[in-house]
Amino acid sequence: MSQSEVLPATNGWSKRLLFAVPIAGFIILAGMFGIGLTKDPSVIPSQLIDRPLPEFKLPGLSASAPGFGSADLKGKPMLLNVFASWCAACPQEHPMLTRISREGTTVYGLDWKDTPADATEWLGRLGNPYARVGSDPTARTGIDLGVTGVPETFVVDKRGRVRYKQIGPIDGPTWETLLKPMLAKLEAEA
């Protein structure tokens, strides 16, 4: 039996197909990467937008400092800021939170994956802009909120619904052009 009898005959189409499949795969993959490059990597959608905060009750940083729960985040628009003493970006954001608080916006603090002692020392050094601080050392509440890192800030409306999630530090432009107008609009809602 000769070699030509063992191998099936190949026509031109199969050779072209062998060449075209990898090229088509490359084009599809390049297109997907191209679309991905147009997306803002700091925007991570939250499943909580326009939904009530999950139910939680957090202890304070000490026996004399009351914590808070989801029921406390109702009545007026406010911010829920997730921070930690070990967070590298939190000290950059802290002066802005102090300013926001002094301007009259209520800011609650959720101390995430941190010890109450470390958070108390950190706030003692930098000042405490929060109406109340809740301790979440096991990250259980953070998981329920969909926290991916610190700092993160949630805009909460009068009814306790999440209306926006800010990932990363709040800076002056973010406050003035996005969050402050959003809170004013939420305050005007019936």
In terms of domains, do 177 and 94 share one? Answer: yes
Residue 75 sits in a domain whose CATH number is: 3.40.30.10
In terms of domains, do 109 and 32 share one? Answer: no
**146, part of any domain:** yes
In terms of domains, do 74 and 102 share one? Answer: yes
pLDDT value for 39: 62
Mean pLDDT, range 167-182, rounded to an integer: 97
> 109-146: per-residue pLDDT in tens?
999 999 999 999 999 999 999 999 999 999 999 999 99
In terms of domains, do 108 and 163 share one? Answer: yes
Phi, psi of 46 (to 5 degrees): -105, 135
Distances (CA, A) of 90 to 122, 124, 150: 10, 14, 7
Q: What is the pTM of this model?
A: 0.78
**42, part of any domain:** no
In terms of domains, do 7 and 78 share one? Answer: no
**43, part of any domain:** no
In terms of domains, do 100 and 68 share one? Answer: yes
Range of the domain at 17: 3-37
In terms of domains, do 88 and 116 share one? Answer: yes
CB 156 within 8 A of CB 80: yes
In terms of domains, do 27 and 84 share one? Answer: no
> 30-47: per-residue pLDDT in tens?
777 777 666 655 555 667
> 62-114: per-residue pLDDT in tens?
999 999 999 999 999 999 999 999 999 999 999 999 999 999 999 999 999 99
pLDDT value for 189: 87
